[in-house]
Chain A
Amino acid sequence: MKLGFLVDLNLCMGCKGCEIACKVENEVPLSSWRLRVKYVDVGTFPDTKRTYTPLRCNHCADAPCERICPVSALHYLDNGIVNVDKERCIGCAGCVMACPYGAIYIDPETNTADKCTYCAHRVSGGLMPSCVVACPVEANIFGDLEDTESNISRYIMQHQGNVQVRKPEKGTHPHHFYVGGGEIQLNPLASLRQEGHNLFNNITHLKHVGGHH
């Protein structure tokens, strides 16, 4: 079994239901995220469009974060999930640097690495990840990539030619796919980040407990 995600960006309407569900389910602290929905506006008024892209860990088949972790705190589960053992982690932040998708953060409360685990605790009990449950338009599709009859495999087959991953050139082989995405949604360097123009300017940052940052 190799679990994977697919987000149909044609369906996503940027409601952030998945983001909130993830925060609640995993008690993600303030100023950190496991899953976030990024808005990018395209065009010049009045000819403009807003795009929405849910971003989470890709559970790469060849994960740089797993490779760099000196104590195997990041490790593969049999179902392909890249999991974190917070008790093992020494907080070197090597994984934060190694992940080409910026998917890992150092939890300011535990001072250890954390990230999306595809809700491994729910999956092991036969439940869907909480973001999948929360999505009102079923834009998040989750399932076994090795099972040709699973929803995700069928979706990939139906949308052949229009299925993308982020940064394929990095050779990480993500188990997380997008349908209907383009350069704007998937490449962080293809959009400008203008200081002071973010809708949330005042983001609260937690101080690391006993940390040095």
Chain B
Amino acid sequence: MAHETIEAMNAVVTLDVALPGIVWPWLVTMNMWAKSIGTGVLFLGYFMFRYYGNENSVKEMKLPIAILSFTFLSMFLLFTLADLHQPFRMWHIFFYPHWTSPITVGAVIASVLMGLVSMLVVAAYLKRDDIFEKAWMPTLILAIPVTLYTATLMGMSTARELWQVPVELVQMMLAALLSGAATMLLFGHKFSFEVNRMLAIVLGASAAAGFTIYMGEYVFGPFKAEEVAATLAYIKGDGEYTAMFWIGQVIAFVIPMVLTYLGVTNKNRILLLPAAISALVGLWIVKHVWLMIPQLLPMS
């Protein structure tokens, strides 16, 4: 509709004050990326302990998984704080909570998750399997909403129609599985090929699913709403983010898909390491492009 109006009326903005630029910068990309890894290693830890828990190398992963999760969740919280224009007022969230806001809900559940993950670190370090076992399932369950809440936050950004809740929820979960599997594959030399195979399949499958959804949005998104069409124009043709979008898609999804397929079919563990690194680097780029482009859209 708007497109036809432009064509028919030749309407051009001739006087307007500057629109605000990017308000959620790369710090928010870091936040989402680190959170994906922080919760993703917990999800993959679940699969490893559940199906390959008898292998000594897997048993020994309790402490590394807890430390990895703790480190990346700390990064996530640190970047969340750094992104605030008034970081020293962070405590307002807990003292004046507004429960319709996913930011409030996210801050509370992420803080509880941090507490549980800290407990896992201590329990694993002290080799207190009894405490670790007790804290493990609640941690895992809480990691799910922590993974997902950013999608609801983006979904509440009315008029940034590219971000739709159901799709973004799926993308957040896929990003966690992809980055969790990739991070675990960095330790692949410790595990049997069976464990590597499972991690590679999760990595390859989440890369394939993520890629399919992005391509679906790319091709069919413009039919949903004029805002989506206008947003996707930034990654089409000579759009501002076209190159970065495709680089991200190839590094995050295509290369890991190919390498994990070749690695699993040829039983070649060496190929899985570059697949993992590629996925982790690419995920940052993909998330960044998707965060930036709706912010370029004029809102008024």
Contacts and interface: CB of A to CB of B under 8 A. Distances in A.
A99 interface: yes
Interface stretch (A3-11, A101-109, A117-125, A157-165): A101-109
Interface string B12-26: 111111111111110
Given A64-B158, A112-B86, A101 B15 contact: no
A212 B83 contact: yes
Interface residues of B, number: 56
Contacts of B159: 99-101, 167, 170
B227 A43 contact: no
B179 to A, nearest CB: 24
B13 A191 contact: yes
A211 B184 CA distance: 36
Given A102-B299, A200-B17, A44 B156 contact: no
B137 to A, nearest CB: 29
A212 B14 contact: no
A71 B101 CA distance: 9
B101 A103 contact: no
A184 B15 contact: no
Nearest to A210: B85
Contacts of B153: 68, 94
Contacts of B11: 40-42, 184, 190-192
Contacts of B92: 70-71, 88, 90
Contact of B97 (A71, A99, A172): A71
B100 interface: yes
Interface stretch (B2-10, B67-75, B214-222): B2-10
Given A70-B98, A71-B96, A189-B230, A96 B15 contact: no
A192 B12 contact: yes
Contact of A197 (B12, B19, B299): B12
B120 to A, nearest CB: 27
Contact of B2 (A38, A72, A99, A183): A183
Given A67-B156, A68-B101, A183 B14 contact: no
Given A67-B156, A89-B86, A205-B18, A40 B12 contact: yes
Contacts of A92: 83-85, 103
Instruction: Among B13, B19, B22, find the residue whose CB has the most chain A CB atoms closer than 10 A.
Output: B13
B84 A90 contact: yes
B13 A193 contact: yes
A156 interface: no
Nearest to B26: A212
B56 interface: no
Interface residues of A, number: 64
A191 B12 contact: yes
Nearest to A44: B10
B50 interface: no
B152 to A, nearest CB: 10
A189 B228 CA distance: 11
A36 interface: yes
Given A88-B92, A97-B23, A187 B2 contact: yes
Contact of A55 (B9, B83, B156, B300): B300
A99 B5 contact: no
A64 B161 CA distance: 14
B157 A97 contact: yes
A193 B230 CA distance: 12
A91 B84 contact: yes
26 contacts: A31-B17, A33-B17, A36-B17, A39-B14, A39-B16, A68-B101, A68-B157, A69-B101, A70-B97, A71-B97, A91-B85, A92-B103, A93-B23, A96-B20, A97-B157, A98-B156, A99-B159, A101-B299, A106-B85, A112-B85, A187-B2, A189-B2, A189-B3, A197-B14, A212-B25, A212-B27
Interface of A: 31-33, 36-44, 50, 55, 64, 67-72, 88-94, 96-103, 105-106, 111-112, 166-167, 170, 172, 183-184, 187-194, 197-200, 203, 205, 208, 211-213
Interface of B: 1-3, 5-6, 9-25, 27, 82-87, 89-90, 92-93, 96-98, 100-104, 107, 153, 156-160, 226-227, 230, 295, 297-300
Q: Please provide the 4 A-B residue pairs with the shortest distance between their CB atoms, ordered closest to farther.
A: A91-B85, A102-B299, A100-B159, A39-B15
Given A99-B299, A212-B82, 14 more contacts: A39-B16, A43-B10, A44-B10, A72-B96, A89-B86, A96-B20, A98-B157, A99-B159, A187-B2, A188-B299, A190-B9, A200-B16, A203-B18, A211-B85
